[in-house]
Amino acid sequence: MERISGSTGVRVALATVLVGLLLLSVAGASVSARPPPQAVCGVCSDTLVETAADSGVDISIAASSLSIRIDESGTGHWTAQVRLRGRDVDMLRENRSLRDHIVKQVYDRGYVAVEEPKSLSTSMDGETLLVDYEVPGMAHESVGGVYVVNFFYWHGGEARWFYLAADSMTMRGPPGTVVSHAPADSTTTDHAVTWKGSDEQYDPLGVRSHVVFAPDDGLVSTIATTLGIGIDVAQLKAQDLVAAIAPLAILAVVVAMLRRFESRLTELSWPRLIALVVGPLAAVGLSAATVETLIGVSGPVTDQLGDFLFYLIFMVAGTGAGPALVIGGPLVAGQILLGKRFLGGERSTTGSMDAVTRLLLWPTASVLAGQWLLFPTAAAGAAGYDAMYGLVSLVVPPLYFVPLAITRQRETSIHLAFVTGLLFSPIPVVVALAPHTAANLVIGSLALRYVPWGLVIAAMGVFAYVAGYRMAATERECTG
């Protein structure tokens, strides 16, 4: 009987070390608390009062509002109106340079939606401070002449998290347009969208989603609005496709190794096979969590132990590896049990594997094909759908491996389809979850963000492939 040679064991050890170094190099991004939300209307927030106090000016805010007008170029023209009170309001009215300095400091301090306002100007109307500025690129014209405002959805390479700060905000589109899409927490008229302020500073503003202005409220504009949002989201998601390269490479290597060493692997006992696959995987995870703890935590041993456990759990759960293991594992186990049941029920007949093909492989192929058919909808970011599709895409790839082994042994034409589907399975995961994934809290590198998920899928796939191979071998023995 052939056995795994010593040179093969060395290669496995070297591969483990390489993967461990890759994970350790990117796992150093500390898991920290989420930064404070950004004030949509910076000069309407307490920051204005604080910066004024730093300049020796005593004021407070009585009321505030923000108006945004989108022009045909997609530039937003912002006007903040802040009614002030306090003993130094007259000073601000009379001293323009002081007023401009205080307002500019609000934006320089950060944690505002617009950190670099263009064409900034200030004025006073009685006790009301008026701040005007421009924000280029807030919106863009899409198919059908609709204007898609995505500034509050995704900007500068990161998801936006806001609180309004003003008592109210109103947004209007270019002349001649009407509101064709707005967040659920807003109120709309034909030409404007309005939000009311929240007393809870850390409540994210619902305006993070898209606002769309269309030429009219007809059917064509409605369709164009849906397409405009979908195209915008799909373009953002496509920027994350680099994250699919690493898990795709992992799966390609695993498929190649299974084809090369399948006979040797299937001759191993289950305990030896588990040790061969799970041992290196566990070593990588434990090493990564240990290094992250030593780099990012100092203090009592009890604190370090707690953070070690946190990093270890988040390394799995925050990168999709957890759902793949917890949900995908039972799915593939059920698949194997069904295959053995179908095979055992007709063990004395020459059609035993035909039953497996008819009752297991083709239904599995139909499910996986359905996942790919729904891919365009997830890529367009259908509300609430892409996240669910992403979860499904995280857990179904292990289902490819049993059919992969059986169809390879039987040399059936569907084998190539299973290989192709498996190799490209990271793409639906990345596209569906982008740009909403929390994996970047653990792994800062986009290119290596789904490496833990790919390793878990590969590990489960080895077990599933061996089980499928043994099913096919059993059928050959019974019909031989």
Query: Tens-digit pLDDT profile for the chain (480 aa)?
Result: 444 444 444 444 444 444 444 444 344 333 344 567 788 999 999 999 999 999 999 999 999 999 999 999 999 999 999 999 999 999 999 999 999 999 999 999 888 888 889 999 999 999 999 999 999 999 999 988 999 998 887 655 555 678 888 999 999 999 999 999 988 778 888 889 998 875 555 444 554 578 999 999 899 999 998 888 888 877 877 878 888 998 999 999 999 999 888 888 888 888 888 888 887 777 766 666 566 555 554 445 455 555 556 656 666 666 678 888 888 889 988 888 887 777 665 544 445 666 666 777 788 888 888 888 888 777 766 555 667 788 888 899 999 999 888 888 888 888 888 999 999 999 988 888 776 554 444 555 676 778 888 989 999 999 999 988 888 776 655 555
312's CB contacts (< 8 A; 6+ apart) are 285, 286, 289
Question: What pLDDT, on the 0 to 100 scale, is given for residue 134?
Answer: 96
Distance CA 281, CA 287 (A): 10
pLDDT at 254: 92
CA distance 475 to 263: 16
Please report, for the chain, the start and end positions of each structural domain, with discontinuous segments joined by +.
Answer: 6-32+239-479, 38-235
**How many angstroms separate the Cα of 158 from the Cα of each of 8, 104, 200, 461?**
43, 24, 23, 34
- Spatial distance between the Cα atoms of 127 and 77, rounded to a whole number of angstroms: 22
The alpha-helical segments, DSSP class H, found in 190-328 are 219-238, 245-267, 270-296, 301-317, 321-323
Distance (Å, rounded) from C-alpha 266 to C-alpha 276?
12
**What is the rounded CA–CA span in Å between residue 464 and residue 458?**
10
Could you tell me if 243 and 450 are in contact, meaning their C-beta atoms sit under 8 angstroms apart?
A: yes
Q: What is the DSSP string of 176-187?
A: T-EEEE--TTSE
Rounded distance between C-alpha atoms, residue 171 and residue 139, angstroms? 12
pLDDT score recorded for residue 29:
37
Predicted local confidence at residue 438, as pLDDT: 47
Q: How far is CA 10 from CA 138, 171, 264, in A?
A: 55, 64, 16
How wide is the angle at C-alpha 310 spanned by C-alphas 307 and 313, nearest 5°?
Answer: 150
Query: Cβ–Cβ contacts within 10 Å for residue 48, how many?
Result: 27
Segment holding 67, helix H or strand E? strand 60-70
The distance of Cα 368 from the centroid of its chain, to the nearest Å, equals 22
Separation in Å, CA 413 to CA 325, 365, 468: 30, 13, 17
Looking at residue 59, what is its pLDDT?
A: 93
Cα 425 from Cα 419, distance rounded (Å): 10
**pLDDT number for residue 285:** 63
How many Å apart are CA 160 and CA 152, to the nearest integer?
6
